[in-house]
């Protein structure tokens, strides 16, 4: 009897007392449950045009990668998936491991082998294409000579004597095989049309045809020396310190200056060459040392 009364008391307490408060609590619980279950509804969505980048070690470089964008499938809570923006996505592949040798590589793109920033609760499920071919090459930085390139013709009766580049060499960074094959790097063309005297071309661009390599210094200055056209003239002068001996030599230099010279303007003497043999050496006048040169010498 007592058990029956106790049971009735419990039922009355649960279902009939404070029923309004309990109804509110039930409604709150039901709302929370629906919110949680709605948030956790699983969803998958595909995003296209996701940028693909590669990380290489300091002494290597990716020189060929035909695929720049990929398509990915993401999964997770529906509300979180809906907040993901395609512009915020990017896939990166780490090829900086020293065990990865340069050459043509087939890279497998799998969720566990790539880098991507995703919100908590969102997972990378798939990447397409899943396999791509890339080329990784060893790189180096090296100093290469700069070649000054001119165009046009100086004024009548004048010619280009010399072209001096400052700095004469610049550093080039790029694939080792390509950099090692470079003998010189050309400047943009410098016009010498109608010029009669020396001039300096400032900040002339230097560039490479192959975009895989880059130049560290992109501009140079070029000093261009221009003077009267040069001709050859033969002189004969005595050899200093040797009686009865003379040397015949050809001088290549500015026409007007050579026409005024006499044989005694030159100094000729016998000197020892690198092989220890005596050979004639001709010294030209000081004012012609930068514009004239000795081309042939014979001793009589």
Provide the pLDDT for residue 29: 66
In this prediction the pTM is 0.61
- Do residues 225 and 263 touch, judged by C-beta distance below 8 A? no
Pairing, β 246-254 against β 230-238: antiparallel
Q: Which residue ranges in the chain fall short of pLDDT 70?
A: 1-40
Provide the pLDDT for residue 177: 85
Provide the pLDDT for residue 96: 86
- The candidate with the shortest Cα–Cα distance to 70, out of 34, 26, 116, 27, is 116
Cα–chain-centroid distance for residue 253?
43
Provide the pLDDT for residue 91: 93
Provide the pLDDT for residue 10: 45
- The candidate with the shortest Cα–Cα distance to 235, out of 260, 263, 210, is 263
Provide the pLDDT for residue 11: 45
Provide the pLDDT for residue 36: 53
Give the three-class secondary structure for 94: strand
Q: Please list the residues that pair with 250 across neighbouring strands.
A: 234, 296
Distance CA 126, CA 121 (A): 16
Provide the pLDDT for residue 2: 53
Give the three-class secondary structure for 194: coil
Provide the pLDDT for residue 174: 87
Q: Which two tokens mark 276?
A: 């220890």
Pairing, β 42-55 against β 150-151: unpaired
Q: Which two tokens mark 53?
A: 């980048």
């Amino acid at each position: 009897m007592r058990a029956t009364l106790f049971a009735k008391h419990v039922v009355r307490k649960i279902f009939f007392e404070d029923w309004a408060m309990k109804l509110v609590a039930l409604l709150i619980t039901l709302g929370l449950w629906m919110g949680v279950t709605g948030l956790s509804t699983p969803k998958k969505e595909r995003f296209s045009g996701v940028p693909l980048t590669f990380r290489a070690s300091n002494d290597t470089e990716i020189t060929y990668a035909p695929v720049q964008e990929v398509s990915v499938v993401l999964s997770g809570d529906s509300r979180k998936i809906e907040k993901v923006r395609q512009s915020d996505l990017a896939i990166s592949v780490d090829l900086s491991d020293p065990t990865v040798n340069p050459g043509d590589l087939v890279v497998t793109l799998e969720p566990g082998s790539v880098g991507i920033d995703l919100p908590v609760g969102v997972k990378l499920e798939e990447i397409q294409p899943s396999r791509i071919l890339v080329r990784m090459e060893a790189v180096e930085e090296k100093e290469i000579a700069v070649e000054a390139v001119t165009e046009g013709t100086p004024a009548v009766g004048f010619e280009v004597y010399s072209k001096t580049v400052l700095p004469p060499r610049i550093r080039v960074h790029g694939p080792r095989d390509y950099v090692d094959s470079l003998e010189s790097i050309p400047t943009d063309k410098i016009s010498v049309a109608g010029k009669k005297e020396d001039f300096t071309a400032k900040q002339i661009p230097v560039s490479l045809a192959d975009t895989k390599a880059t130049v560290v210094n992109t501009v140079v200055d070029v000093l261009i020396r221009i003077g009267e056209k040069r001709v050859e003239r033969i002189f004969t002068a005595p050899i200093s310190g040797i009686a009865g001996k003379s040397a015949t030599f050809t001088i290549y230099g500015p026409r007007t200056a050579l026409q005024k010279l006499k044989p005694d303007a030159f100094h000729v003497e016998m000197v020892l060459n690198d092989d220890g043999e005596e050979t004639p050496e001709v010294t030209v006048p000081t004012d012609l040392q930068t514009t004239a040169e000795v081309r042939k010498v014979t001793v009589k």
